[in-house]
Amino acid sequence: MTDTINDVLETFEFLDDWEDRYKYIIDLGRNLPDFDEKYMVEENRVHGCTSRVWLVHELVDGKIVFKGESDAHIVRGLVALILMIFSGKPAKEITSTEARDTLDQLGLEKHLSPMRTNGLFSMVGKIKSIAAAYQGSSA
């Protein structure tokens, strides 16, 4: 994945139609790195999502790197957006990042079903709790 959240914000400015924005989000999901099926287990599942979503993480040079997957195309794209916001950052930065600001800029809440929006913030919650656990262990 080479796009950044700033790239997405810029692209959204050029895409006036939400149909085009949805297609773009789906394309972002297609660019997620491969996710090994062995990680598609209950302990990695994000609850609160309509679709099935899995997140895994590892600490690399003091930064938490997340990988994610979903069984739905649009949600895979939403996973990609969330990873752009949080992955590859230190735990303290993750816990202090307010994803809602960025997601509001994208206008997603107005164009996603309430269940999808709930799932989006369930992903954010899981990522923040993982980061908080690393912070608690002084990583």
What tens digit of pLDDT does each residue of 75-95 get?
Answer: 999 999 999 999 999 999 999
* pTM of the predicted protein model: 0.92
Burial class (CB in 10 A: 0-12, 13-18, 19+), 110: exposed
Percent of the chain with pLDDT over 70: 96
Catalytic sites, residue numbers: 49
> What pLDDT digit, counting tens, does each position of 99-129 carry?
888 888 998 888 888 888 888 999 999 999 9
How far is Cα 139 from Cα 117, in angstroms, rounded to an integer? 30
Quote the CA–CA distance of 99 and 84 in Å, as a whole number: 10
Fold classified for 5-136: Sufe protein. Chain: A (3.90.1010)
Q: Where are the domains of the chain?
A: 5-136
